Every structure is written in structure tokens, then in C-alpha cells.
């Protein structure tokens, strides 16, 4: 199963947010590895695409002028691997710069299942709007939380019920 990061649009009505949300798969992007500049352009990562294109041109010029064909080819493959691995993270960073909010992560087999799970979670959260707030309900502290420590605690945490 793959992890998808759900990003919601920056402003607008809350009802429209789930329909406009973007799910980005967290993992290796094969198309980003195969054709890095075009994949970056497709996802509107203009600056990153320009940088990758400039580095690819510099590597080609290095191979042509200095005779480092093997080194240039290996560095081009490394550049493609980098874009394949970090492409989704670059896309998430670009969405954050544009003001999109990270809703959370969804685990699913494919993007359709991820969309269904995301919409189900958003719909379930929206149904709780009719429930009265917690201030209207009586407060009952947990028994373990109200118990006093009876002996010294070792470390940073106290474990209820242990002396």
C-alpha cells in the first residue's frame, strides 16, 4: 500500500475544499525519473524544471567539450534518480508555498482508493458539526490521570499504577 498526502486549497468555502484537494503519492515517481523536466513542467514546477534543464545542458556541454562522456552520463542518471525520488516532495513544497494546507496522509492501493478514503474521512468529520461542543458535557477526569504519584518516578514519564 502507498501513502498519499492530502493537500487542501488555501482559501474558499469548506464545502468546495474536498473536491479541490490534491493527493500526492509519497514515493518514487517513475515518470519523474524517465523525463524529469517534462514531469516537473506538467506539475507546474517551473523553477525546478528550469534548474534541471540547465543542469542537463551543463552536463551535455561537459561531455561534448571536455570529453567526460561517462561521467556526464552517470551524473545525468543521478539527476534523474534525484528527481524521481524527490519529485513528490518538491511538488508538496510548491503547494505549501502557494498556501495549500496539509490535511494528512491516506494509505491506499491507488489514487482512486485514496480519494475515496479521504472523502470518507472529510465527510465523517463534517457530520460531527451537529454534535454539541464538549463544554456542554460534564467533565469526568480519568482515574489514572487524577491519581497522585506515590513514589519517585524514574525518567521523564510517570506510569500510573506503578510506585
Beta bridge partners of 3: 26, 107
Q: Are 88 and 105 in contact (CB under 8 A)?
A: no
91 CB burial (10 A radius; 0-12, 13-18, 19+): buried
Q: What is the pLDDT of residues 78-107, one digit of tens each?
A: 999 999 999 999 999 999 999 999 999 999
Query: What digits encode the pLDDT tens for the residues 123-161?
Result: 776 655 554 444 444 444 444 444 444 555 544 555 455
* Sequence-ordered list of residues with C-beta below 8 angstroms from that of 39, at least 6 positions apart, any chain: 29, 31, 32, 83, 87
**What percent helix, strand, coil does the chain show, rounded to 5?**
55, 10, 30
Task: Provide the pLDDT for residue 14.
Answer: 63
More confident residue, 139 or 2: 2
Specify the pLDDT at position 39. 96
Q: How far apart are CA 119 and CA 113, in angstroms?
A: 10
Could you read off the pLDDT of 9-67 as tens digits, one per residue? 887 656 567 788 999 999 999 999 999 999 999 999 999 999 999 999 999 998 888 88
Amino acid at each position: 500500500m502507498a501513502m498519499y498526502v492530502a493537500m487542501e486549497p488555501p482559501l474558499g468555502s469548506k464545502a468546495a475544499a474536498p473536491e479541490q484537494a490534491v493527493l500526492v503519492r509519497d514515493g518514487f515517481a517513475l515518470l519523474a525519473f524517465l523525463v524529469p523536466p517534462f514531469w516537473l513542467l506538467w506539475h507546474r514546477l517551473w523553477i525546478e524544471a528550469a534548474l534541471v534543464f540547465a543542469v542537463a545542458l551543463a552536463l551535455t556541454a561537459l561531455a561534448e567539450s571536455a570529453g567526460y562522456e561517462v561521467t556526464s552520463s552517470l551524473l545525468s542518471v543521478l539527476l534523474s534518480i534525484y528527481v524521481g525520488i524527490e519529485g513528490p516532495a518538491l511538488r508538496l513544497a510548491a503547494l505549501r508555498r502557494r498556501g495549500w494546507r496539509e490535511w494528512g496522509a491516506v494509505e491506499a492501493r491507488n489514487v482512486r482508493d485514496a480519494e475515496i478514503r479521504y472523502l470518507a474521512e472529510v465527510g465523517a468529520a463534517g457530520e460531527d458539526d451537529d454534535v454539541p461542543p464538549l463544554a456542554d458535557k460534564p467533565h469526568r477526569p480519568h482515574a489514572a490521570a487524577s491519581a497522585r504519584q506515590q513514589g519517585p518516578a524514574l525518567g521523564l514519564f510517570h506510569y500510573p499504577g506503578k510506585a
